[in-house]
Amino acid sequence: MRTFSVALKCRTLVLLAVAAMFFAACHTADKEVVDSGKWAADSLQLSTESGDNSDFVAITDVVPDVILEIRYYGTYNFVGTRIDGYEQPIALMTKQAADSLRAVSDDLIKQGYRLKIYDAYRPQMGVDHFVRWGKDLNDTLMKTYFYPNETKDSLFIKDYIATHSSHSRGSTVDLTLFDMRTEKEVDMGGTFDWFGRESHPDCGGNPTTGKWRSNDTLTAQQFTNRMILRKAMLRHGFKPYDCEWWHFTLRNEPYPDTYFTFPVKSFNVERF
């Protein structure tokens, strides 16, 4: 009986260690800066803010084949309202990232797909909006649609919300695939901005090997669809994020320590 108890305690400790590693991976995978902790403070000391948009372009000017569904300009997002700084339903990126995304698009068009973009450059004021929303525990308007299995007070703890985002550095994009044959968005087995395990690239299989896992929540086709997008993005210079299958950052991003503040709107209106 004692031997069984010791074994059970050891197994519990192993599981707790694995869980800790899981959340640590989400915390550091894409240099997202959370709302607490020494690591966040040290990182912010090395970063700057800028309102200069001179190295940014509208993605559609470089990649005319993309489809835009800018969720934070509308109300169908986890907050349920238009996000601060999204003044027009357009997508902006640094020139370098947009050029690489054009290569991704050309690659996928040959396979019968177009890119559909949910978000790209995100101004710091938009991130600040997320943080304010996250601290208001009474506002659960969109819980049913985006985080039904999470309590709102856990969103900071699990790093779903951060005080700084790689999106504000200008070379990150949230996107999916659109099937030109069926004229429908491809089934990825989970929706954009879903707060839960289903959003992780390793849900359903091993993203490194591309091997599907039959005892998980994704079908083989859904996992394959995710891998089509992931492989194309990696081939053309982007790196994935361990917690979101739709999120990719240019590996050699030009502004790794700068968080931009200008709003999302056409440069024809005003150039900063």
Residues with a catalytic annotation lie at 244
- The whole-angstrom separation of Cα 87 and Cα 232 is 30
Residues comprising the chain, all counted? 272
**Can you list the alpha helix ranges (DSSP code H) found in the chain?**
2-28, 38-45, 59-62, 95-109, 124-135, 143-146, 220-235
Question: How, if at all, do strands 258-260 and 48-50 pair?
Answer: parallel
- The whole-angstrom separation of Cα 43 and Cα 37 is 10
End-to-end alpha carbon distance in the chain: 71
What lies within 8 Å, CB to CB, of 240 at 6+ separation is: 201, 207, 230, 233, 234, 247, 248
| Opening angle at CA 263, ends 259 and 265, nearest 5 | 135
- The whole-angstrom separation of Cα 110 and Cα 218 is 26
Closest CA to 141 of 75, 73, 197, 70: 75
Task: Please count the helices (runs of H) and the strands (runs of E) in the chain.
Answer: 7, 12
- The whole-angstrom separation of Cα 188 and Cα 230 is 12
